[in-house]
Chains A and B, each alone.
Chain A
Amino acid sequence: MTSLYLIGGAILFGLGVHALVARAHLVLKVLAVNVMGSGVFMVLLAAAAGGEGDPDPVPHALVLTGIVVAVSATAFALALILRVKAVTGRAHLPEGEGDAESGGS
């Protein structure tokens, strides 16, 4: 039973990575990061259920900590997206800026 969750976690993580790279809209990227995070949390919780006796409390505590960190990062990211949108008018990152010598300082 726990292996189902382990594999589910792996799939969520992969989906998140894909969406983070493939999706252009910043809100979708931030959601993708959250999907990745959920994948990791699922793996941790599944690991806690393995073994004998009551579930291992340590991964539960780690996941609680991780959730709060994820909430904080998400909230800050959303605030940053709003600023990017307000200043540049777009909620996308400019394409191919890369190593070009772009203006602005």
Chain B
Amino acid sequence: MNSLIGADWAAWSVIAPLAGAVLAALWPRSGPLLGMVVSVFAVLVSAGAALGVWHDGPARAGLGGWEVPLGIALHLDGLSALMLLMTAVVGFAVSVYALAYIRPGSGRDKFWPLWLWLWASMNGLYLSGDAFNLYVALELLGLAAVAMVALAGGAAALTAAMRYLLVSLLGSLAYLMGVALLYASHGVLDLALLGQVMGDEPATRLAAALMTAGLLMKTALFPLHVWLAPAHGSAPAPVSAVLSALVVKASFYLILRLWLDVFPQPEGSAFALLMGALGAAALLWGSLLALRAQRLKRVVAYSTVAQLGYLLLAFPLMLAVPAAWHAVVFFALAHACAKAAVFMAAGSLQRSAGHDRLAGLGGVMRREPMTLFALGIAGASLVGLPLTGGFIAKWLLVEAAIQGQAWGWALLVLVGGLLSGAYVFRVLGHGFIRDLAVTQHHPVPALMSWSVLALALVSVALGFAGAPALELLTRHGGEGS
């Protein structure tokens, strides 16, 4: 009976944004209202889901009363509950921000339905326990994200959206071919069942390779990152925030889910080291590009390329310390809050100054102390300065690396932190240069500055949420009952 409660929370976590999305498609005018209602509900139900997992352990619900292998199961465990919570908190802040950022008119009628569909597809992805259903959720996610990138409408945004769409379609079809292989060889689609029946056959290995490669493309991992910076850099600020903070994590979540619960651990360490090397390359290359970029939003977008590298460290770290993925998930959480806040702050400054060229932003930064403060503390969390969520995240990563005596990876985490410090302080430095002429300055609406500040504070407060989050992640694996 206990698991039934968790299962209901899982269903409602999908339903809340879905219902909002359907209604927003019907009445786009009511988008802002629906967005607020969905935000509140999403926070409540994901908190409920997390509490359910905390007390009763993982839960499964066969949809339509059909049990696997016939039906599709929703699967709720610590990992999916944390991802739901992350989406809800960031989504809430972004929605409030968007109330002021997205101007009334046709832009608003377009933004809200797409955003709610995006939200629904992410929640669907986190909870789905079925390989094919995940494909549909991935396509839903990809289409919504691409359409949101195209909202900005200029040549750069449209080209970026096109590139993103092609990469995304290639990625999901590679994933789908993997699903076809798995079904052809094992005759089931449920992830948990697949995990049980799967051996180390060639078909399984090929499926694992195809699915991982497809999802890595969607995660924009080096060297497949080229589409990310133009797409994230030229989209409207709330869209950039959502894409950088949440959407890339959704496909990474699926990689992690597949390797934790489904695919057999590969013999030898070649695969894990390859993933680690890709991560390291992303970290270094993305940081260098962020240091070179001349526009604020590009800096932030390249910082996403870099920080995604940390996520891949899960694989080499798990070689020695099986629970190292906990640290990586917590890192994803901290990064999501900090990155969304930084992108939103960047959007406020851009709106205020009318451009986002770093060289000309100093004056506006000084006129908007609240936004600058939010940018500062969210940036500190991104760098991993003490007392922030980012610090705990990097601490956990280094700790796992030291535990596994993987000194190289520990060093990499520290170097990555230094590099991110360099580009964050390069941005902030412009706020402290004296005697800057302000050519143009529109005050930032209160809703925008407050929502950014709130999210930035959350990213710091996460520093105190490490223990419960990690505890929640131990509620993993099979059914609680």
Q: Within 8 Å by CB, do A and B touch in the complex?
A: yes
B353 CB to closest chain A CB (Å) equals 12
Evaluate contact between A69 and B136: CB separation under 8 angstroms. yes
CA distance A47 to B186 in the complex (A): 11
* Contacts known (A101-B294, A104-B155); A33 close to B234, Cβ less than 8 A: no
B355, closest chain A residue (CB): A105
Q: Total interface residues on A, using CB and 8 Å? A: 46
* Contacts known (A20-B170, A73-B139, A104-B156); A83 close to B150, Cβ less than 8 A: yes
Report how many A-B pairs have Cβ atoms within 8 Å: 114
* Contacts known (A98-B226, A101-B298); A33 close to B156, Cβ less than 8 A: no
Evaluate contact between B226 and A99: CB separation under 8 angstroms. yes
Evaluate contact between B143 and A72: CB separation under 8 angstroms. yes
Evaluate contact between B155 and A33: CB separation under 8 angstroms. no
- Interface of chain B residues 187 through 233 with chain A (CB within 8 A): 187, 189, 226, 229-230, 233
Chain B interface residue bracket vs A: 35 or more
Evaluate contact between A59 and B183: CB separation under 8 angstroms. yes
Residue B36 at the chain A interface, CB threshold 8 Å: no
B231 CB to closest chain A CB (Å) equals 12
Tell which of B2-10, B45-53, B159-167, B410-418 binds the partner: B159-167
Evaluate contact between B156 and A102: CB separation under 8 angstroms. yes
Contact of A13 among B135, B161, B177, B356 (CB under 8 A): B177
Residues in A neighbouring B153, C-beta threshold 8 A? 87
A41 CB to closest chain B CB (Å) equals 8
Q: Is the interface of A mostly helix, strand, loop or mixed?
A: helix
CA distance A49 to B142 in the complex (A): 31
Evaluate contact between A101 and B156: CB separation under 8 angstroms. no
Evaluate contact between B177 and A77: CB separation under 8 angstroms. no
* Contacts known (A73-B139, A77-B165, A99-B229); A47 close to B159, Cβ less than 8 A: no
Residue A94 at the chain B interface, CB threshold 8 Å: yes
Residue of A84, A97, A99 most packed against chain B (CB within 10 A): A99
A40-B180, A77-B166, A93-B163 given; name 15 further pairs at CB < 8 Å: A20-B166, A33-B169, A43-B180, A72-B143, A73-B143, A76-B165, A77-B165, A77-B169, A80-B150, A80-B158, A97-B230, A101-B295, A101-B298, A104-B154, A105-B297
Selected A-B contacts with CB under 8 Å, 27 pairs: A13-B177, A20-B166, A33-B169, A33-B170, A36-B177, A40-B173, A43-B181, A44-B180, A59-B183, A62-B132, A62-B183, A69-B136, A69-B139, A73-B169, A76-B165, A77-B165, A80-B150, A80-B162, A80-B165, A83-B158, A87-B154, A93-B162, A97-B226, A99-B226, A101-B292, A105-B295, A105-B297
- What is A's interface to B at a CB cutoff of 8 Å? 6, 9, 13, 16-17, 20, 26, 29-30, 33, 36-37, 39-40, 43-44, 46-47, 50, 56, 58-59, 62, 65-66, 69, 72-73, 76-77, 80-81, 83-84, 87-88, 93-94, 97-99, 101-105
- What is B's interface to A at a CB cutoff of 8 Å? 132, 135-136, 139, 142-143, 146-147, 150, 153-156, 158-159, 161-163, 165-166, 169-170, 173, 176-177, 180-181, 183-184, 187, 189, 226, 229-230, 233-234, 289, 292-295, 297-298, 355-356
